[in-house]
Structure 1
Amino acid sequence: MRGFITPERLGRIRHVLSLRQKDVTLVMDNIWDPHNVSAILRSCDAFGIFGVHLYYTTEKWPDLGEKSSASAKKWVERTSHSDAGEMLDGFAARGMQVIRTGFSQTAKPLHAFDFTIPTAVILSNEHRGASPELTERVEQELYIPMQGMVQSLNVSVAAAVILYEMFSQRRRAGLLDSPSLSPEELARLELEWSDR
């Protein structure tokens, strides 16, 4: 049974849901560190990502606590996958471009991609890179241009930078001016979120 919810909280829930983007997402590819996973979810919530995809085949989904950034997990939907082909086919069926992060010779800078179209970005394990079965099927690759001596960012920081670029492009294109979710989805989620 639904408990009491203040008008202010209900208004905030409605406002946040009206800005959620359901046609852009991140894929967490065997990212094992709970601090990184929690920070990624927090950034997803902050930049209006409706849901993420969890591809865990060699690592275990980390146990996330309830405090700090881990609390963002209740505001970001999560879909688990163990079959790369099935996951990627699902993205293709939804008309999504799929991009992985990396540093190959064919990788393009982050700002070269159009994030106003449906997109899934694969973030991989910092030490091993993208899973081979994803590398085989995902040709598009992005990197974040940097000017320092360090070659890469922590995966959670990279996620935040990518999400901000997505958010900025979509805001400029006016995609945040109307809800991405249908009226039916908004009504259902309003009830669900009110109990969280």
Structure 2
Amino acid sequence: MTPERIARLRGVLDRRQPDLTVVTDFVHKQRNLSAIVRNCDAVGVAQMHAVVGDEDYTAFRGTAMGSHTWVDVIRHSCAGDALAGLRSEGFQTVAAHLDDSAEDYRSVDYTRPTALVLGAERRGLSAVAAAQVDQCVTIPMVGMVESFNVSVAAGIILAEAQRQRQEAGMYDRPRLDRDIYERTYFEWGHSSVAEFCRERGLAYPSLNEEGEIDCPSDWYASVRRGEAPLSGAENG
């Protein structure tokens, strides 16, 4: 990799926010899902969650592969499972949802571990999701329509989260777990080799300071001999 490429990848990873995420609750339109993934990447969200059926998710991945390179999208079949898991990890769950108790989206403290929950444009949140979120927020509007497009709403709220986190210095130092950081760096820089390793259950080879595979001919020879380390072998 060129020095410029290395600097770009590391610069992005240095600003990833492991405690900021998005949950889409049966947002079926592929263009909306893809736009939300791009919004996530833009503000440093490393992983988002999509509650969607198998068929819709397969079609979505087919249209958003470029965005998926940079944001890990986890699929769930039930909003309850996704939200319960995040709440057990200490995330506050904030839904963009028209509700009598909803507050201005800017009133939320997004420097806390936060999951932004978004429902489909017409039906909003499912009953399961609405029952589990901690807080509902709205974006003040002065026109005739009641709400923004879901991907636009996501961008507006995530931009506020980014503003708050920047003021708090949360983008000033790497915050990803070190193993996740280095694994992601390898996958971004060497996607074909990463896929090769995943298909065969191999550990990723080490990289040198130039971001290239260290002694690649030796590593490939060890693969052919069946002597390359297996994924997870260091853990037993």
TM-score (norm 2): 0.75
Deviation at 1:26, TM superposition (A): 0.5
Q: Counterpart in 2 of 1:45?
A: 41
Per-residue CA deviation, residues 14-53 of structure 1 (Å, 9 max, x unaligned), is: 1100001010100011111111111111111111111100
Match for 1:18: what amino acid?
A: D
State the structure with more CA Rg: 2
Unaligned runs of 5+ in 1: none
Q: Counterpart in 2 of 1:56?
A: 52
Quick check: which one's helix share is greater? 2
TM-score (norm 1): 0.90
Q: Between Structure 1 and Structure 2, how many residues are aligned? A: 191
Deviation at 1:9, TM superposition (A): 1.0
The equivalent position to 1:13 in structure 2, one of 6, 9, 15, is 9
CA distance in 2, matches of 1:160, 1:38: 12
Identity between Structure 1 and Structure 2 (%): 39
Q: Counterpart in 2 of 1:111?
A: 106
Bigger mean CA offset, 49-58 vs 164-173? 49-58
Q: Counterpart in 1 of 2:215?
A: none
Q: 1:57 to 1:139 in 2, by over 3 A?
A: farther
Match for 2:18: what amino acid?
A: K
Structure 1 segments of 4 or more deviating over 6 A?
none
Report whether the alignment pairs 1:163 with 2:158.
yes
3-state SS in 2 of match to 1:35: helix
CA distance in 2, matches of 1:7, 1:66: 31
CA distance in 1, matches of 2:153, 2:65: 18
Report whether the alignment pairs 1:79 with 2:74.
yes
How much is the aligned-residue C-alpha RMSD, in angstroms? 1.9
Report whether the alignment pairs 1:25 with 2:9.
no
